[in-house]
Amino acid sequence: MNRDSHDISRRQISENALKVLYRLHKSGFKAYLVGGGVRDILLGLEPKDFDVVTNATPDEIKKLFRNCRLVGRRFRLAHIVFGRDVIEVATFRGHHGENSDNISKSNAEGRLLRDNVYGEIDEDAERRDFTVNALYYDISDFSIRSYGGGIDDLHARKIKLIGDPETRYREDPVRMLRAVRFATKLDMQIEAITAAPIKSLAPLLADIPAARMYEEVLKLFFAGKAQANYQMMQDFGLFAPLFPQIQGVISEFPKGHAAKMLNLVMRSTDERVNQDKPVTPAFFYAAILWYPLKQRADDIALESGLPLYDAQVAAMGDVMEEQCRTISIPRRFSTPAKDIWLLQIRFERSQGTRAFKLLEHPKFRAAYDLLLLRGEAEGGHTAKQASWWQAFVEGDEAQRNVIAKSSNKAGGNRNRSATQRKRKRKPAAKSPDTSAE
């Protein structure tokens, strides 16, 4: 497609990406803007990043750019760093032949473990995942090269895999998640042949390194399409391999609190993203794992006789450790998530004048937001508790004092009567007649 047949302008490409493209071109190498950057501009969207592909090897790229660092083990990449902006540059990928294991290696299931096989642009295009990503903008003449019918599929709003779907999914099971993400992001349909093997191959996701899955989950649930992605993942069986504990609770209680909470969290996350409000993995994981945590805490309390608070503390480590087997959650998010969990118990114990102190806790707001979602999911006592805290949080100082004193008085009476009942039962438990029986 020559320059006159498309409307991509260099004004739509980042200045840093153009610097990389021009330097590669002037140094005698082929250089193309590739994939999502080209695709999104053609769709009238604003690209989030610009990737470059070239026939220069990673070592040759590093010699051209002092601000270059080489990354990646599975496939070697060059990152050209401009402050916070990073332009990713890849060498054309080639087909596998009689290559050494040092260059290309796959496991028994067909997943590529190492893929440093270089080739030409035609081979690179065939190695790309979807046709709508096999689009190359040539900096030498400003033309676009489309492979596998990419331009046609873009116009038809169709997500189509390049090559045999089962083989391509086995090479990299994350492509199944990418198919879902592109379909929702671009408002497209996954072609029937591309969709057919997904459900049967979904369990392959369990073998993907947990650190890589963390990044994929961020892309799925923190880009304003969480609800749509969650629903499509459930339809294809892709959610269970990533969140086995949550899926276990949902499978046992399909219309229970956990299922309601998931939908509420996805909806809430989308709303915040679309309103440019901050979202954090700490709250996200605390919310979606709350009911697996509660179930585990109840089991521990029943088995060991521990008080609920102690059982929940013990359960937190179990639940977070189990989740990290499939998705590696950094400690900077897992630790605050545990704080949010612990505050759920303190909410019930702090209705009264102690509420003022709890209000100062650094994780109060996130924990309060979770309480509101729990109230919506559960109703009943939790909804009343959430309403009390909502009135307290939204009230002015005078209103808070009235609410706290009123609740403290009612709570004090209940606590005294409970203590009295407990004291009356103690002598009866030690009665000689009771022991004889």
Residue 60: which of 98, 102, 86, 30 has the closest Cα? 30
The residues annotated as belonging to the active site are: 49, 51, 129
Which tens digits make up the pLDDT trace of 247-292?
999 999 998 999 999 999 999 999 999 999 999 999 999 999 999 9
Position 418 scores a pLDDT of 38
Tokens of residue 387, six digits: 């309403």
Q: Class of 1-156 per CATH?
A: alpha beta
Give me the chain's average pLDDT, please.
88
Which tens digits make up the pLDDT trace of 156-181?
999 999 999 999 999 999 999 999 99
Helix, strand or coil, per DSSP, at residue 158: strand
Whether residue 22 contacts residue 139, with contact meaning beta carbons closer than 8 Å, is answered with yes
C-alpha distance across the termini of the chain, in Å: 94
Q: Sheet containing 77-82: which strands, arranged edge to edge? A: 68-71, 77-82, 85-91, 51-54, 31-34, 135-138, 144-146
Tokens of residue 157, six digits: 């709003």
Which tens digits make up the pLDDT trace of 75-105?
789 999 999 999 999 999 877 554 444 444 4
pTM of the model: 0.84
Which tens digits make up the pLDDT trace of 317-364?
999 999 999 999 999 999 999 999 999 999 988 878 889 999 999 999
Other Cβ atoms within 10 Å of 3 Cβ, number: 13
Position 408 scores a pLDDT of 64
Which tens digits make up the pLDDT trace of 191-244?
999 999 999 999 999 999 999 999 999 999 999 999 999 999 999 999 999 999
Position 109 scores a pLDDT of 54
Residue 290: which of 322, 252, 331, 262 has the closest Cα? 262
Which tens digits make up the pLDDT trace of 390-429?
999 999 999 999 998 887 665 544 443 333 334 344 444 4
Helix, strand or coil, per DSSP, at residue 3: helix
Find the mean pLDDT for residues 177-194.
97
Taking the C-alpha atoms of residue 184 and residue 120, their distance in angstroms, rounded to an integer, is 31
Strands 51-54 and 68-71: unpaired
Whether residue 162 contacts residue 134, with contact meaning beta carbons closer than 8 Å, is answered with yes
Where along the chain do its domains lie? 1-156, 162-238
Taking the C-alpha atoms of residue 86 and residue 64, their distance in angstroms, rounded to an integer, is 16
Which tens digits make up the pLDDT trace of 52-78?
999 999 999 999 999 999 998 767 899
Find the mean pLDDT for residues 110-139.
81
Whether residue 130 contacts residue 181, with contact meaning beta carbons closer than 8 Å, is answered with no
Find the DSSP H helices in 237-289.
239-242, 244-252, 257-274, 281-288
Position 411 scores a pLDDT of 53
Position 393 scores a pLDDT of 94
Domains 1-156 and 162-238 equal at CATH topology level: no
CATH of 162-238, one of 1.25.40, 3.40.50, 1.10.3470, 1.10.110: 1.10.110
Position 127 scores a pLDDT of 86
Taking the C-alpha atoms of residue 117 and residue 28, their distance in angstroms, rounded to an integer, is 21
